[in-house]
Homo-oligomer: A and B are copies of this chain.
Amino acid sequence: MKYRVTVLSGDGIGPEVMAEGLKILQAVAAKYHHEFEFKSELIGGIAIDQTGSALPAATLKTARKSHAVLLAAVGDPRFDDPKLPVHPEDGLLALRKGLGLFANLRPVKVFDQLVDASTLKPDVIRGTDFIFIRELTGGVYFGKPKKEWVTAGGRKAVDTMVYSEHEIARIVRAGFEVARARKKVLVSVDKANVLKSSRLWRQVAIEVSAEYPDVTLTHALVDACAMQLIRTPSAFDVIVTENLFGDILSDEAAQLAGSMGMLPSASLAGIPVSGHKTFGLYEPIHGSAPSIAGQDIANPVATILSVAMMLRYSLALETEARAVEAAVNSVLERGYRTDDIMAPGNTRVGTRQMGDLVAAEV
């Protein structure tokens, strides 16, 4: 079978880490006799430069015709001024919404070899291996009204945190499915002591739990969860939450692992059921890091692990996904490190060499 992959390299270090991700896919193709067809399109700052739009229509069109989308990074300080009419990030939000990518999966796995890279004590962080399921197309990110206006008493601005039963149920189901394939425990995070949307969230989560009698559901308040992530990170397994809470908590959690350069993500248009294919977009969680762009020092591992997630969720190639993950593990085991995770006694390698090493292991 021929798999069509839309390639969105974006800004900053994007093209460099993307090249290594594609290198790994080529290695997988050779070893397991698959065929990948790559089609590159524009997004972010580079898209604004070339087309005036952060998400040109052609990008959305190509993405819709593909089996999966691989994205590297979006963001460019030239567009930082909030008063500009269009920003690189707008492209990302429009892509999520346009492709219906409601389920954002962000695994936070601390590699044993990198335990010391964390600012948390090794005993606290060792063994941490959990996954966030963040709702990605609803809540205060997209709710209407979303506007600024002028009143007699001055300016006012409003955003709307709105959720329907349907939106909550499908993301909670995604959480239950992922939990079922892991330790069968699911923590749902909300702010039910203050927000109506959180009360509905909690209510629907409890209702959906009846479909998953084998999974244990518990609830945590978002502020308490922000604490627990630092206190006992290794106690978590699967966490499901709404868009804004997921944005904040998953970034907090990413920092636990020491370097963002290691963490992948998947944004899916369907509920991930083991063995089934779901259309999705895959990207490292780090940004475009303009300050280190073009220097062959960025860590490509997050992109490579995003490729593994693509193989797993959108192409149902579990064996291939595991092979990529094992290859990363073995390269780390042998002591190779990019700048961001370098420690005494390791061998420093650049972006391309890291990609070569992982590709060779595959």
Choose one: B120, B161, B252; the contact of A140 (CB below 8 Å). Answer: B161
CB neighbours (8 Å) of A166 from chain B are 153-154
Q: Is the CB of B155 within 8 A of A158?
A: no
Binds B, one of A191-199, A273-281, A300-308: A191-199
Query: Given A120-B120, A203-B82, A196 and B157 touching (CB < 8 A)?
Result: yes
Q: How far is the CA of A62 from the CA of B224 in the complex (A)?
A: 32
* Residues of chain A in range 132-184 having any CB-CB distance to chain B below 8 Å: 140-141, 143, 146-148, 151, 153-166
Residue A249 is within 8 A (CB to CB) of chain B in the complex: yes
Residue A256 is within 8 A (CB to CB) of chain B in the complex: yes
* Residues of chain A in range 88-142 having any CB-CB distance to chain B below 8 Å: 89, 93, 119-121, 124, 140-141
Q: Is the CB of B161 within 8 A of A161?
A: yes
Residue A223 is within 8 A (CB to CB) of chain B in the complex: yes
Residue A254 is within 8 A (CB to CB) of chain B in the complex: yes
CB distance from A120 to the nearest CB of B (A): 6
Q: Is the CB of A163 within 8 A of B154?
A: no
Q: Is the CB of B251 within 8 A of A227?
A: yes
Q: Is the CB of B252 within 8 A of A227?
A: yes
Copies of this chain in the oligomer: 2
User: From DSSP, what is the main secondary structure of chain A's interface residues?
Assistant: helix
Name the residue on B nearest A162 (C-beta): B158
CB neighbours (8 Å) of A229 from chain B are 252
Q: Is the CB of A251 within 8 A of B224?
A: yes
15 further A-B contacts with Cβ under 8 Å, apart from A87-B193, A148-B200, A157-B201, are A119-B124, A119-B230, A147-B196, A154-B164, A156-B162, A156-B200, A158-B161, A158-B197, A191-B247, A226-B252, A227-B251, A229-B252, A230-B230, A230-B252, A252-B252
Q: Is the CB of B157 within 8 A of A162?
A: yes
Q: How far is the CA of A121 from the CA of B93 in the complex (A)?
A: 36
Residue interface mask A195-238, B partner, CB < 8 A = 1 = 11101111110000000000000000011101111110000000
Residue A244 is within 8 A (CB to CB) of chain B in the complex: yes
CB neighbours (8 Å) of A230 from chain B are 119-120, 230, 252, 255-256
Q: How far is the CA of A203 from the CA of B148 in the complex (A)?
A: 12
CB neighbours (8 Å) of A360 from chain B are none
